[in-house]
Structure 1
């Protein structure tokens, strides 16, 4: 697959399905980071359009739609995939799209759990920074249930 040109959207083939990828911002120079946005589990990256537009004024931004969102094809097991599996899929997607580190990860809600799993798949030197926006942790589901029970 040839490199994805800034300003273009394409479908990147993985093993069983294709995912929508858009690169925005100025052309990336060697060793400059690229921002990866990981939205919450029930959200499209298109909900981050304002943030993407602002960031893309000065840096490259990698937007992707998880399986079943946007133009991305559904995965066979979309409803049962874990954060570890979603992180591994992101890792494969970056390799298939030829998007090398360093990365700055911006994540929201359940995207925070996916981001932490993604970090475990990579060397720490692959990252230049992280932004967690109302990010969940692995403890969120049990905390949420306890809060409802005591309300």
Structure 2
């Protein structure tokens, strides 16, 4: 299992291909990439902050939980921090399992956790100011199924 928290952009194709090649025997590889969303075209940037060490420990623990709940052969989480522009990748989740159901379920579990519980703080920056992104009820509701 690999976890990377970084400021630099990543190459989705290269990461997905490298991940898939590292899991012999997998019957399924699922990948998801989250992008900076610009609803309405007014977003200048999104700034993502985190506490190094704390962030990795928290995400590592949830990755381990996913591994024990589903028959995962491997998992990858990449999450960026710093200032990102609209349409830039924020994060990537990849899971590999003998069968697709486990790969999909574990990927969704990890994505729901990253969206609502991972210790990142997001600030939307607009031409007229900035505001912290608040938790959304829909994101919290998504966690209830796990």
Structure 1 length as normaliser, TM-score?
0.26
Structure with higher strand content: 2
Higher relative CO (Cα under 8 Å, sequence separation at least 6) belongs to 2
Structure 2 length as normaliser, TM-score?
0.27
